[in-house]
Amino acid sequence: MNQPPVIEIKNVSYRYDRDNVLENIQLSVPKGAFLGLVGPNGSGKSTLLKLILGLLKVKEGEVFLFGTPQKSFKNWDRIGFVSQKANSFNTGFPATVYEVVASGLTKKLGLFRRPGSKEKQAIKAAVEAVGMEAFLTRNIGELSGGQQQRIFIARAIVSKPDILILDEPTVGVDSKNVESFYNMLAYLNQQMGITLLLVTHDIGIISDKVTHVACLNKYLHFHGSMQQFETLDEEDLSDLYGHGIHLLDHHHEHQGADV
Amino acid sequence: MIEAIGQYEFLQNAFLTGMIIGVIAPLLGAFIVVRRLSLIADALSHVTLAGIAAGLYFSQTFTFLAWLNPMYSGMVFSIIGSLFIERLRTVYKHYQELAIPIILSGGIGVGVIFISLADGFNTDLFSYLFGSVSAVSREDLWLICLISLIVIATVYLLYKELFLLSFDEEHAKASGIPAKSIHFIFIILVALVIAASMRIVGVLLVSALMTLPVAAAMRMAKGFKQTIAYSVLFGEIAVLAGLVSAFYLDLAPGGTIVVASILILLLVIAAKKFTKAG
């Protein structure tokens, strides 16, 4: 019980030039949680992720990773990251699923070492965990957006991180495959014990998968477990969230309050 | 022809060199093509031309430099050019391709100055521009062997880093591998391979041997290792066919090798179309 939270953010504020993007954020991700971090575009979600990952420097407040202050944190291979696919990847690249997942071990293996039989097993296990074992020898470019995103998750978990951070992972995923995509994430969380931090602008569809919710829009408007979140009514949500919230899930008692 | 190879040292040199560059040029070419750096190879080859022209000029003009093999000066220029490209790419962050025309025209400009100083073209320069079956010396061959050892060993040892850098540069940087140093080593390797290949295919056509076999390989390969394997196979076929026809028809091998590569590429594209239609 006394394990420190995987991620703990204390009094963090951040500004680009004069614009305040984040204001006094307190957030903790307990071990084993599946936290949905929700907020509209421009709410500071990506900035917060960059601060956690050390891609931006924390100037005000503190970030702790596994109980260690971020500044002295060294075990970055305990943290897996999956970005919005469209960012950086060239779909015409002639690489097989196996090769892409294997590239997730590059840092862990270190210079000059080549993957041995232990690593080969880890690669196969990671591909199985995301349900893509039938595609091992296919070229990554032949897969659909959702399948590619699963492969990127396999690449992130092949080095066996404790936490996986996902930034809007369903951007390129077909709407009819989104449900099974989140089921796969729930499997990683419940069966493999990986803590998940999922950034999205759409809480509706994940509401029956996540264990915790945080609503961000410059300020942190709500942070708590899913049970607490569900006791809030639509008006509370709109107030908390500033803009109103996209709540379109499978239980139709909530109606969408889109703005 | 096989008898001729047994008889003449220059033919042995040419064929051994051809076999070697048929491996290393497409090997590096596979990384160059997928990283969309094909034009950098072109720019560097033109800088190499400037180095060769400078070497030819100095060795003709100054007796104390008569020993100077233009391959060395070409190599030095090529490496300096690669450093300049990297520098320019950081100076013009949002116009990274601008580095290429700057370096490319700079290379030709300096080259032309040295060529004019040396009183125009001669057969030596011609062989550097378009390759030659007869111009490869034993010394060249040894130097090319050394370069290829360095290239193959480096690619073997840094394979997974080079792969990650090519596939997803951002992820490579974020995951904490020394992406900058790896990229730097890679560009130096490209400069070395250009210097090694120009004796056979010529400076102006080096980039073709690095890109055309890869273009064909990508049409049919599953995965990156297979892409490399097919690229090397096609590169070897092109070099051999090109050298044999250059020898019998008395042509510059640069031309025949490039035409052979293009034929392979067209065949692969046609075969792919055909199998898809069938």
Asked if B218's CB is within 8 angstroms of A95's CB, the reply is no
Distance between A215 CA and the closest CA of chain B, angstroms: 26
Give the residue numbers in A contacting B (CB under 8 Å), as ranges: 53, 55, 76, 81, 83, 87-90, 92-96, 98-100, 102-103, 105-107, 109, 111-112, 114-115, 137-139
| pLDDT at position A241 | 54
User: What's the CA angle centered on B192, arms B166 and B88, to 5 degrees?
Assistant: 60
* Residue A72 is assigned to a structural domain of this protein: yes
Task: Answer yes or no: is pLDDT of A256 > 70.
Answer: no
* Residue A253 is assigned to a structural domain of this protein: no
pLDDT in tens, A121-158: 999 999 998 889 999 999 988 888 888 888 999 998 99
Distance between B227 CA and the closest CA of chain A, angstroms: 7
Helix (H, G, I), strand (E, B) or coil at A112: coil
Domain range enclosing B169 = 2-271
Task: Tell me the C-alpha to C-alpha distance, in Å, between residue A85 and each of A53, A66, A136, A144, A169.
Answer: 17, 27, 19, 12, 7
| pLDDT at position A244 | 44
Whichever domain contains A25, its CATH number is 3.40.50.300
* Residue B131 is assigned to a structural domain of this protein: yes
Distance between B275 CA and the closest CA of chain A, angstroms: 18
Q: What does DSSP assign to residue A134? A: G
Spell out which residues of chain A touch residue B177, defining contact as CB-CB under 8 Å: 106-107
Whichever domain contains B10, its CATH number is 1.10.3470.10
Q: Are A198 and A37 in contact (CB under 8 A)?
A: yes
What are the tokens at B110? 């300096």
Structurally, chain B folds into a number of domains equal to: 1
Tell me the mean pLDDT per 10 residues along chain B, length 278: 77 91 96 89 91 88 81 90 86 81 92 85 77 86 93 95 89 82 91 88 89 94 95 96 92 93 95 77
Task: Answer yes or no: is pLDDT of A249 > 50.
Answer: no
Helix (H, G, I), strand (E, B) or coil at A26: strand
pLDDT in tens, A75-87: 888 888 888 765 5
Distance between B77 CA and the closest CA of chain A, angstroms: 30
* Residue B183 is assigned to a structural domain of this protein: yes
Which residue did the predictor score with more confidence, A232 or B243? B243
Q: What is the mean pLDDT of chain A?
A: 81
Which residue did the predictor score with more confidence, A259 or A100? A100
Q: What residue of B is the nearest CA neighbor of A98?
A: B223
Best to test chain B binding among A79, A83, A88 (most B CBs inside 10 Å): A88
Among B167, B174, B227, beta carbon nearest to A103: B167
Distance between A23 CA and the closest CA of chain B, angstroms: 26
Mean pLDDT, residues A108-113 taken together: 82
| pLDDT at position B161 | 93
Helix (H), strand (E), coil (C) string for chain A: CCCCCCEEEEEEEEEECCEEEEEEEEEEECCCCEEEEECCCCCCHHHHHHHHHCCCCCCEEEEEECCEEHHHCCCHHHEEEECCHHHCCCCCCCCEHHHHHHHHHHHHHCCCCCCCHHHHHHHHHHHHHCCCHHHCCCEHHHCCHHHHHHHHHHHHHCCCCCEEEEECCCCCCCHHHHHHHHHHHHHHHHHCCCEEEEEECCCHHHCCCCCEEEEEECEEEEEEEHHHHHHCCHHHHHHHHCCCCCCCCCCCCCCCCCC
| pLDDT at position B277 | 61
Which residue did the predictor score with more confidence, A3 or B13? B13
* Distant-in-sequence, close-in-space partners of B139: CB < 8 Å, separation ≥ 6: B69
| pLDDT at position A251 | 43
Q: What residue of A is the nearest CA neighbor of B166?
A: A93
| pLDDT at position B70 | 85
Q: How far is CA B10 from the centre of its chain?
A: 21
According to DSSP, the residues that pair with B210 across neighbouring strands are: none
Among A53, A99, A114, beta carbon nearest to B224: A99
Distance between B175 CA and the closest CA of chain A, angstroms: 7
* Residue B167 is assigned to a structural domain of this protein: yes
Q: What residue of A is the nearest CA neighbor of B182?
A: A111
* Residue B53 is assigned to a structural domain of this protein: yes
Q: What residue of B is the nearest CA neighbor of A90?
A: B167
Task: Answer yes or no: is pLDDT of A89 > 80.
Answer: no
Domain range enclosing A194 = 7-241
* Residue A65 is assigned to a structural domain of this protein: yes
* Residue B277 is assigned to a structural domain of this protein: no
* Residue B25 is assigned to a structural domain of this protein: yes
The Cα–Cα gap between B35 and B30 comes to 9
Q: What residue of A is the nearest CA neighbor of B227?
A: A94
| pLDDT at position B120 | 66
Asked if B34's CB is within 8 angstroms of A93's CB, the reply is yes
The Cα–Cα gap between B204 and B258 comes to 11
Among B169, B177, B227, beta carbon nearest to A106: B177
The Cα–Cα gap between B242 and A216 comes to 64
Q: Lay out the sheet containing A212-217: strands in order across.
A: A79-82, A163-167, A195-200, A34-38, A212-217, A219-225
| pLDDT at position A85 | 62
What are the tokens at A113? 């070492």
Q: Which of A193-197, A205-209, B68-72 has the highest mean pLDDT?
A: A193-197
Asked if A96's CB is within 8 angstroms of B223's CB, the reply is yes
Structurally, chain A folds into a number of domains equal to: 1
For residue B243, the one-letter residue type is L
The Cα–Cα gap between B36 and B54 comes to 30
| pLDDT at position A247 | 47
* Residue A76 is assigned to a structural domain of this protein: yes
Task: Answer yes or no: is pLDDT of A203 > 90.
Answer: no
Asked if B163's CB is within 8 angstroms of A81's CB, the reply is no
Residue B82 sits at φ, ψ, to 5 deg, of -65, -35
